Amino acid sequence: MQTRRVAFMSMIVLMACVGSAGAQTSGGTGACPPLETRAPNAPDQRPAFPGQTRACAIQSNVAFDVVVLATGLEQPWAVEPLPGGDLLVTEKPGRMRIVSARGDLGQPIAGVPAVDARGQGGLLDVALSPNFAADRTIYWSYAEPRRGGNGTAVARAVLSPDRRSLDQVRVIFRAIPTYDGTMHYGSRLTFGSDGTLYVTTGERSDTPMRQYAQRLDSHLGKILGINPDGSAPADNPFVGQPNALPEIWTLGHRNIQAAAFDPEGRFWVVEHGARGGDELNLIEKGKNYGWPLVAYGEEYSGRPFASAVTARPGFEQPVYYWDPVIAPSGAQFYTGDAFPAWRGSLFIGNLEDKRLVRIVLVNNRVTGEEHLLADRGQRVRDVRQGAGGELYIVTDERNGELWKIVPRQ
Protein backbone atom coordinates (compact mmCIF):
# COMPACT_ATOMS: atom_id res chain seq x y z
CA MET A 1 0.00 0.00 0.00
CA GLN A 2 1.22 3.45 -0.84
CA THR A 3 0.21 5.83 1.95
CA ARG A 4 0.67 9.54 1.79
CA ARG A 5 -0.83 11.81 4.39
CA VAL A 6 -1.34 15.39 3.41
CA ALA A 7 -2.68 18.01 5.77
CA PHE A 8 -5.71 19.90 4.64
CA MET A 9 -4.97 23.23 2.97
CA SER A 10 -7.82 25.58 2.30
CA MET A 11 -7.90 26.72 -1.31
CA ILE A 12 -10.74 29.19 -1.01
CA VAL A 13 -10.14 32.80 -1.87
CA LEU A 14 -12.85 35.13 -0.67
CA MET A 15 -13.42 37.94 -3.12
CA ALA A 16 -16.14 40.53 -3.32
CA CYS A 17 -18.25 40.83 -6.43
CA VAL A 18 -16.61 43.27 -8.80
CA GLY A 19 -18.66 45.60 -10.97
CA SER A 20 -22.32 45.59 -11.84
CA ALA A 21 -22.16 42.46 -14.02
CA GLY A 22 -20.98 40.37 -11.08
CA ALA A 23 -23.66 41.77 -8.81
CA GLN A 24 -26.39 41.16 -11.37
CA THR A 25 -25.48 37.54 -12.06
CA SER A 26 -24.93 36.61 -8.42
CA GLY A 27 -27.66 34.43 -6.98
CA GLY A 28 -26.96 35.70 -3.49
CA THR A 29 -28.36 38.67 -1.63
CA GLY A 30 -25.09 40.58 -1.43
CA ALA A 31 -24.72 39.76 2.29
CA CYS A 32 -21.68 37.54 1.67
CA PRO A 33 -19.04 37.14 -1.01
CA PRO A 34 -19.72 34.29 -3.45
CA LEU A 35 -17.22 31.51 -3.98
CA GLU A 36 -17.41 31.95 -7.76
CA THR A 37 -16.01 35.31 -8.93
CA ARG A 38 -15.05 34.52 -12.53
CA ALA A 39 -17.04 36.09 -15.34
CA PRO A 40 -20.07 33.98 -16.31
CA ASN A 41 -20.29 32.38 -19.73
CA ALA A 42 -23.82 33.71 -20.17
CA PRO A 43 -23.72 37.16 -18.51
CA ASP A 44 -27.16 38.23 -19.74
CA GLN A 45 -28.96 35.35 -18.02
CA ARG A 46 -30.49 35.92 -14.60
CA PRO A 47 -31.28 33.39 -11.87
CA ALA A 48 -34.94 32.61 -11.26
CA PHE A 49 -34.60 33.22 -7.50
CA PRO A 50 -31.96 34.46 -5.03
CA GLY A 51 -29.28 31.89 -4.28
CA GLN A 52 -29.80 29.84 -7.44
CA THR A 53 -26.20 30.46 -8.47
CA ARG A 54 -22.97 31.87 -6.99
CA ALA A 55 -23.66 30.88 -3.39
CA CYS A 56 -21.76 32.21 -0.41
CA ALA A 57 -18.20 31.01 0.02
CA ILE A 58 -18.01 28.92 3.18
CA GLN A 59 -15.10 27.35 5.02
CA SER A 60 -15.57 24.41 7.39
CA ASN A 61 -12.00 24.48 8.76
CA VAL A 62 -12.04 20.70 9.01
CA ALA A 63 -8.60 19.13 9.39
CA PHE A 64 -8.23 15.93 7.42
CA ASP A 65 -5.62 13.68 5.88
CA VAL A 66 -5.63 12.21 2.39
CA VAL A 67 -4.50 8.58 2.37
CA VAL A 68 -3.60 7.37 -1.13
CA LEU A 69 -4.84 3.77 -0.94
CA ALA A 70 -4.03 2.81 -4.53
CA THR A 71 -2.44 4.16 -7.69
CA GLY A 72 -2.17 2.77 -11.20
CA LEU A 73 -5.91 2.67 -11.88
CA GLU A 74 -6.76 3.54 -15.49
CA GLN A 75 -9.51 6.17 -15.50
CA PRO A 76 -11.49 4.78 -12.56
CA TRP A 77 -15.16 5.74 -12.83
CA ALA A 78 -16.80 4.51 -9.63
CA VAL A 79 -15.94 3.33 -6.14
CA GLU A 80 -18.30 1.26 -4.00
CA PRO A 81 -17.45 0.29 -0.40
CA LEU A 82 -17.90 -3.41 0.36
CA PRO A 83 -18.83 -4.94 3.71
CA GLY A 84 -15.67 -5.36 5.75
CA GLY A 85 -13.85 -2.32 4.37
CA ASP A 86 -12.68 -3.38 0.90
CA LEU A 87 -13.61 -1.30 -2.15
CA LEU A 88 -15.08 -2.27 -5.53
CA VAL A 89 -13.72 -0.01 -8.31
CA THR A 90 -14.57 0.23 -12.01
CA GLU A 91 -12.12 1.37 -14.68
CA LYS A 92 -13.39 2.95 -17.87
CA PRO A 93 -11.57 0.60 -20.31
CA GLY A 94 -13.70 -2.28 -18.98
CA ARG A 95 -12.12 -3.59 -15.80
CA MET A 96 -13.61 -4.10 -12.35
CA ARG A 97 -11.31 -4.67 -9.37
CA ILE A 98 -11.37 -5.00 -5.62
CA VAL A 99 -8.96 -2.85 -3.64
CA SER A 100 -8.43 -4.13 -0.12
CA ALA A 101 -8.89 -1.92 2.92
CA ARG A 102 -5.07 -1.86 3.16
CA GLY A 103 -4.74 -0.70 -0.45
CA ASP A 104 -3.81 -3.95 -2.18
CA LEU A 105 -4.88 -3.79 -5.83
CA GLY A 106 -6.69 -6.93 -6.94
CA GLN A 107 -6.62 -8.49 -10.38
CA PRO A 108 -9.44 -7.63 -12.83
CA ILE A 109 -12.61 -9.58 -12.05
CA ALA A 110 -13.48 -12.03 -14.82
CA GLY A 111 -16.84 -12.00 -16.59
CA VAL A 112 -17.34 -8.30 -17.32
CA PRO A 113 -18.98 -7.93 -20.78
CA ALA A 114 -17.26 -6.00 -23.56
CA VAL A 115 -17.61 -2.23 -23.43
CA ASP A 116 -17.28 0.54 -26.00
CA ALA A 117 -14.65 2.70 -24.31
CA ARG A 118 -14.34 5.38 -26.96
CA GLY A 119 -14.93 8.98 -25.90
CA GLN A 120 -17.02 9.06 -22.74
CA GLY A 121 -18.00 5.41 -23.04
CA GLY A 122 -16.73 2.40 -21.17
CA LEU A 123 -17.41 0.65 -17.88
CA LEU A 124 -19.19 3.24 -15.75
CA ASP A 125 -21.03 2.99 -12.42
CA VAL A 126 -21.38 0.06 -10.03
CA ALA A 127 -23.80 -0.51 -7.14
CA LEU A 128 -24.32 -3.26 -4.61
CA SER A 129 -27.65 -5.00 -4.23
CA PRO A 130 -29.46 -3.75 -1.10
CA ASN A 131 -29.20 -7.40 0.04
CA PHE A 132 -25.56 -7.83 -1.02
CA ALA A 133 -24.51 -9.48 2.25
CA ALA A 134 -26.91 -12.33 1.42
CA ASP A 135 -27.09 -12.44 -2.38
CA ARG A 136 -23.63 -11.09 -3.41
CA THR A 137 -25.30 -9.38 -6.37
CA ILE A 138 -23.83 -6.31 -8.04
CA TYR A 139 -25.17 -4.01 -10.76
CA TRP A 140 -23.18 -1.94 -13.21
CA SER A 141 -23.73 0.40 -16.14
CA TYR A 142 -21.66 0.58 -19.28
CA ALA A 143 -21.55 1.70 -22.91
CA GLU A 144 -22.65 -1.47 -24.68
CA PRO A 145 -21.37 -2.15 -28.23
CA ARG A 146 -24.32 -2.84 -30.55
CA ARG A 147 -25.08 -3.26 -34.21
CA GLY A 148 -25.36 0.29 -35.53
CA GLY A 149 -23.58 1.91 -32.58
CA ASN A 150 -23.85 1.62 -28.81
CA GLY A 151 -25.98 2.58 -25.84
CA THR A 152 -26.15 2.68 -22.07
CA ALA A 153 -26.88 -0.73 -20.57
CA VAL A 154 -27.24 -2.09 -17.04
CA ALA A 155 -26.18 -5.60 -16.08
CA ARG A 156 -26.19 -7.62 -12.90
CA ALA A 157 -24.26 -10.64 -11.69
CA VAL A 158 -23.31 -12.59 -8.58
CA LEU A 159 -19.80 -12.00 -7.28
CA SER A 160 -18.12 -15.38 -6.81
CA PRO A 161 -17.16 -16.41 -3.26
CA ASP A 162 -13.46 -15.89 -4.04
CA ARG A 163 -14.37 -12.47 -5.56
CA ARG A 164 -12.42 -13.24 -8.74
CA SER A 165 -15.28 -13.63 -11.21
CA LEU A 166 -18.90 -12.76 -12.00
CA ASP A 167 -21.50 -15.52 -12.25
CA GLN A 168 -25.01 -15.43 -13.74
CA VAL A 169 -24.24 -12.29 -15.76
CA ARG A 170 -27.41 -10.81 -17.28
CA VAL A 171 -28.16 -7.53 -19.01
CA ILE A 172 -31.36 -6.22 -17.41
CA PHE A 173 -31.76 -2.89 -19.21
CA ARG A 174 -30.78 -1.39 -22.57
CA ALA A 175 -31.42 2.28 -23.34
CA ILE A 176 -32.95 2.99 -26.75
CA PRO A 177 -32.46 4.19 -29.37
CA THR A 178 -29.02 2.87 -30.25
CA TYR A 179 -26.72 5.60 -31.58
CA ASP A 180 -23.32 5.62 -33.26
CA GLY A 181 -21.68 8.23 -31.02
CA THR A 182 -19.21 8.48 -28.16
CA MET A 183 -20.75 11.03 -25.77
CA HIS A 184 -23.31 11.42 -22.95
CA TYR A 185 -24.12 7.96 -21.63
CA GLY A 186 -24.88 9.17 -18.08
CA SER A 187 -24.83 7.14 -15.89
CA ARG A 188 -25.26 6.61 -12.19
CA LEU A 189 -27.05 3.77 -10.40
CA THR A 190 -28.82 4.47 -7.12
CA PHE A 191 -31.18 2.26 -5.14
CA GLY A 192 -34.18 3.86 -3.45
CA SER A 193 -35.44 2.78 -0.06
CA ASP A 194 -38.17 0.70 -1.74
CA GLY A 195 -35.62 -1.29 -3.74
CA THR A 196 -36.18 0.53 -7.03
CA LEU A 197 -32.98 0.97 -9.04
CA TYR A 198 -32.71 4.45 -10.54
CA VAL A 199 -30.63 4.72 -13.70
CA THR A 200 -29.54 8.06 -15.17
CA THR A 201 -28.80 8.52 -18.87
CA GLY A 202 -27.53 11.20 -21.21
CA GLU A 203 -29.11 12.37 -24.45
CA ARG A 204 -25.99 11.47 -26.51
CA SER A 205 -24.87 15.11 -26.96
CA ASP A 206 -25.08 15.62 -30.72
CA THR A 207 -27.64 18.21 -31.82
CA PRO A 208 -29.91 15.79 -33.72
CA MET A 209 -30.14 13.57 -30.60
CA ARG A 210 -31.19 16.29 -28.15
CA GLN A 211 -34.86 15.98 -29.05
CA TYR A 212 -34.92 12.53 -27.43
CA ALA A 213 -34.58 14.06 -23.95
CA GLN A 214 -38.17 15.33 -24.39
CA ARG A 215 -39.56 12.21 -26.07
CA LEU A 216 -41.32 9.53 -24.02
CA ASP A 217 -40.54 6.86 -26.64
CA SER A 218 -36.82 7.15 -25.78
CA HIS A 219 -34.72 6.38 -22.71
CA LEU A 220 -32.20 9.12 -23.57
CA GLY A 221 -31.90 12.16 -21.30
CA LYS A 222 -33.96 10.51 -18.58
CA ILE A 223 -33.99 9.13 -15.07
CA LEU A 224 -35.36 5.60 -15.20
CA GLY A 225 -36.83 3.48 -12.44
CA ILE A 226 -36.54 -0.30 -12.74
CA ASN A 227 -36.99 -3.31 -10.53
CA PRO A 228 -33.90 -5.40 -9.71
CA ASP A 229 -34.84 -7.77 -12.55
CA GLY A 230 -35.06 -4.91 -15.06
CA SER A 231 -38.86 -4.71 -15.27
CA ALA A 232 -40.72 -1.42 -14.80
CA PRO A 233 -42.49 -0.81 -11.47
CA ALA A 234 -46.27 -0.61 -11.89
CA ASP A 235 -46.41 2.84 -10.28
CA ASN A 236 -43.90 4.53 -12.59
CA PRO A 237 -45.44 7.80 -13.82
CA PHE A 238 -45.83 6.96 -17.52
CA VAL A 239 -46.90 3.32 -17.27
CA GLY A 240 -49.85 2.72 -19.59
CA GLN A 241 -49.47 6.00 -21.46
CA PRO A 242 -49.49 5.46 -25.25
CA ASN A 243 -46.06 5.66 -26.90
CA ALA A 244 -44.31 6.09 -23.54
CA LEU A 245 -41.60 3.76 -22.24
CA PRO A 246 -42.67 2.43 -18.83
CA GLU A 247 -39.21 2.75 -17.22
CA ILE A 248 -39.19 6.58 -17.43
CA TRP A 249 -39.27 8.40 -14.08
CA THR A 250 -38.34 11.95 -15.21
CA LEU A 251 -37.34 13.55 -18.50
CA GLY A 252 -35.55 16.59 -19.92
CA HIS A 253 -32.02 15.83 -18.70
CA ARG A 254 -28.76 16.47 -20.55
CA ASN A 255 -26.16 14.14 -18.99
CA ILE A 256 -26.41 12.99 -15.38
CA GLN A 257 -23.24 11.58 -13.79
CA ALA A 258 -24.08 12.33 -10.14
CA ALA A 259 -27.07 11.09 -8.12
CA ALA A 260 -27.75 10.59 -4.40
CA PHE A 261 -30.55 10.33 -1.85
CA ASP A 262 -30.40 12.73 1.08
CA PRO A 263 -30.98 11.61 4.70
CA GLU A 264 -34.70 12.47 4.37
CA GLY A 265 -35.07 10.23 1.32
CA ARG A 266 -35.23 12.97 -1.30
CA PHE A 267 -33.55 12.25 -4.63
CA TRP A 268 -31.00 14.71 -6.03
CA VAL A 269 -28.98 14.69 -9.24
CA VAL A 270 -26.23 16.91 -10.58
CA GLU A 271 -26.05 17.03 -14.34
CA HIS A 272 -23.61 18.32 -16.91
CA GLY A 273 -24.73 21.40 -18.78
CA ALA A 274 -22.83 22.91 -21.66
CA ARG A 275 -20.89 26.14 -21.00
CA GLY A 276 -22.36 27.70 -17.87
CA GLY A 277 -25.22 25.28 -17.28
CA ASP A 278 -24.38 22.55 -14.75
CA GLU A 279 -27.47 21.89 -12.62
CA LEU A 280 -28.37 20.58 -9.17
CA ASN A 281 -31.92 19.21 -9.38
CA LEU A 282 -34.31 17.88 -6.76
CA ILE A 283 -36.08 15.03 -8.51
CA GLU A 284 -39.84 14.57 -8.39
CA LYS A 285 -41.72 11.76 -10.07
CA GLY A 286 -42.93 12.51 -13.59
CA LYS A 287 -41.46 16.02 -13.82
CA ASN A 288 -39.76 17.60 -16.84
CA TYR A 289 -36.37 19.24 -16.20
CA GLY A 290 -36.20 21.14 -19.44
CA TRP A 291 -33.33 20.14 -21.68
CA PRO A 292 -33.03 21.22 -24.48
CA LEU A 293 -35.97 23.64 -24.26
CA VAL A 294 -35.05 25.19 -20.90
CA ALA A 295 -31.39 25.60 -19.92
CA TYR A 296 -28.86 27.96 -18.44
CA GLY A 297 -25.54 28.59 -20.18
CA GLU A 298 -24.67 28.42 -23.86
CA GLU A 299 -23.22 26.18 -26.56
CA TYR A 300 -19.51 25.30 -26.39
CA SER A 301 -19.15 27.54 -29.45
CA GLY A 302 -20.30 30.51 -27.37
CA ARG A 303 -23.60 30.83 -29.24
CA PRO A 304 -26.98 30.71 -27.45
CA PHE A 305 -28.91 27.44 -27.44
CA ALA A 306 -31.37 27.29 -30.31
CA SER A 307 -34.99 27.69 -29.11
CA ALA A 308 -33.99 27.50 -25.42
CA VAL A 309 -34.88 29.90 -22.61
CA THR A 310 -34.02 29.81 -18.91
CA ALA A 311 -37.64 29.45 -17.76
CA ARG A 312 -40.84 28.13 -19.27
CA PRO A 313 -44.18 27.09 -17.69
CA GLY A 314 -44.44 23.38 -17.00
CA PHE A 315 -40.69 22.84 -16.61
CA GLU A 316 -38.71 22.51 -13.38
CA GLN A 317 -36.06 25.02 -12.34
CA PRO A 318 -32.74 23.73 -11.01
CA VAL A 319 -32.21 24.27 -7.30
CA TYR A 320 -28.76 25.58 -8.23
CA TYR A 321 -26.61 26.06 -11.32
CA TRP A 322 -22.93 26.74 -11.97
CA ASP A 323 -21.70 29.31 -14.49
CA PRO A 324 -18.82 28.64 -15.20
CA VAL A 325 -19.30 24.90 -14.82
CA ILE A 326 -17.70 22.38 -12.46
CA ALA A 327 -18.30 19.29 -14.70
CA PRO A 328 -19.97 17.22 -11.94
CA SER A 329 -19.47 13.49 -11.43
CA GLY A 330 -20.30 11.46 -8.34
CA ALA A 331 -22.33 12.62 -5.34
CA GLN A 332 -22.64 11.74 -1.65
CA PHE A 333 -24.69 13.22 1.18
CA TYR A 334 -22.52 13.00 4.26
CA THR A 335 -24.14 11.29 7.26
CA GLY A 336 -21.10 10.02 9.16
CA ASP A 337 -19.55 10.78 12.54
CA ALA A 338 -15.93 11.19 11.46
CA PHE A 339 -16.53 14.79 10.33
CA PRO A 340 -19.38 16.32 12.38
CA ALA A 341 -18.98 19.72 10.67
CA TRP A 342 -19.75 18.10 7.31
CA ARG A 343 -22.87 16.23 8.40
CA GLY A 344 -25.73 16.91 5.96
CA SER A 345 -23.42 18.33 3.28
CA LEU A 346 -23.61 17.22 -0.33
CA PHE A 347 -20.23 16.32 -1.83
CA ILE A 348 -19.81 16.42 -5.61
CA GLY A 349 -16.85 15.49 -7.78
CA ASN A 350 -15.47 18.33 -9.91
CA LEU A 351 -13.79 17.25 -13.14
CA GLU A 352 -13.31 20.72 -14.63
CA ASP A 353 -11.39 22.41 -11.81
CA LYS A 354 -10.00 19.20 -10.28
CA ARG A 355 -11.41 19.40 -6.77
CA LEU A 356 -14.17 18.22 -4.44
CA VAL A 357 -17.22 20.45 -4.04
CA ARG A 358 -19.13 20.69 -0.74
CA ILE A 359 -22.65 22.15 -0.82
CA VAL A 360 -24.78 23.14 2.17
CA LEU A 361 -28.53 22.93 1.65
CA VAL A 362 -31.18 24.50 3.89
CA ASN A 363 -34.87 24.09 3.03
CA ASN A 364 -33.91 22.83 -0.43
CA ARG A 365 -31.81 25.90 -1.20
CA VAL A 366 -28.03 26.16 -1.47
CA THR A 367 -26.68 28.43 1.27
CA GLY A 368 -22.96 27.85 0.84
CA GLU A 369 -20.27 26.24 -1.31
CA GLU A 370 -16.75 25.09 -0.45
CA HIS A 371 -14.07 23.60 -2.69
CA LEU A 372 -11.60 21.07 -1.29
CA LEU A 373 -8.59 19.09 -2.57
CA ALA A 374 -7.68 21.67 -5.22
CA ASP A 375 -4.02 21.21 -4.27
CA ARG A 376 -4.16 17.59 -5.50
CA GLY A 377 -4.60 18.59 -9.16
CA GLN A 378 -6.65 15.54 -10.19
CA ARG A 379 -10.10 15.16 -11.73
CA VAL A 380 -12.49 13.92 -9.04
CA ARG A 381 -14.76 11.32 -10.67
CA ASP A 382 -16.61 9.72 -7.75
CA VAL A 383 -17.04 10.17 -4.00
CA ARG A 384 -18.57 7.68 -1.56
CA GLN A 385 -18.91 7.42 2.21
CA GLY A 386 -17.49 4.43 4.04
CA ALA A 387 -18.94 2.63 7.05
CA GLY A 388 -16.75 4.59 9.47
CA GLY A 389 -17.64 8.00 8.06
CA GLU A 390 -14.51 8.25 5.93
CA LEU A 391 -14.82 9.41 2.31
CA TYR A 392 -13.48 7.46 -0.66
CA ILE A 393 -12.59 9.22 -3.90
CA VAL A 394 -11.39 8.02 -7.30
CA THR A 395 -9.67 10.32 -9.76
CA ASP A 396 -10.24 10.26 -13.51
CA GLU A 397 -6.65 10.06 -14.71
CA ARG A 398 -4.61 7.65 -16.83
CA ASN A 399 -2.76 6.89 -13.61
CA GLY A 400 -5.84 7.25 -11.44
CA GLU A 401 -5.82 7.05 -7.67
CA LEU A 402 -8.09 5.87 -4.87
CA TRP A 403 -8.08 8.19 -1.85
CA LYS A 404 -9.39 7.77 1.68
CA ILE A 405 -10.27 11.00 3.52
CA VAL A 406 -9.90 10.63 7.29
CA PRO A 407 -9.71 13.02 10.27
CA ARG A 408 -6.20 14.34 10.81
CA GLN A 409 -4.47 12.49 13.61
Residues assigned a catalytic role: 184
Q: Are 355 and 372 in contact, with CB atoms under 8 Å apart?
A: yes
Measure Cα distances from 147 to 136, 150, 178, 186 in Å. 32, 7, 8, 20
Cα–Cα nearest to 290, from 266, 274, 311 = 311
Q: Give the distance from CA 8 to its chain's centroid.
A: 24
Cross-sheet strand order for the sheet of 95-99:
76-81, 87-91, 95-99
d(C-alpha 93, C-alpha 96), whole Å: 9
CB-count exposure of residue 114 (10 Å: 0-12, 13-18, 19+) = exposed
Rg (Cα) of the chain, in Å, rounded? 20
Integer angstrom CA distances of residue 274 from 62, 68, 250, 278? 33, 32, 20, 7
Please count the CA atoms within 13 angstroms of the CA of 277 that sit on its side-chain side: 29
Query: What Å distances lie between residue 117 and 92, 358, 402, CA to CA?
Result: 7, 30, 21
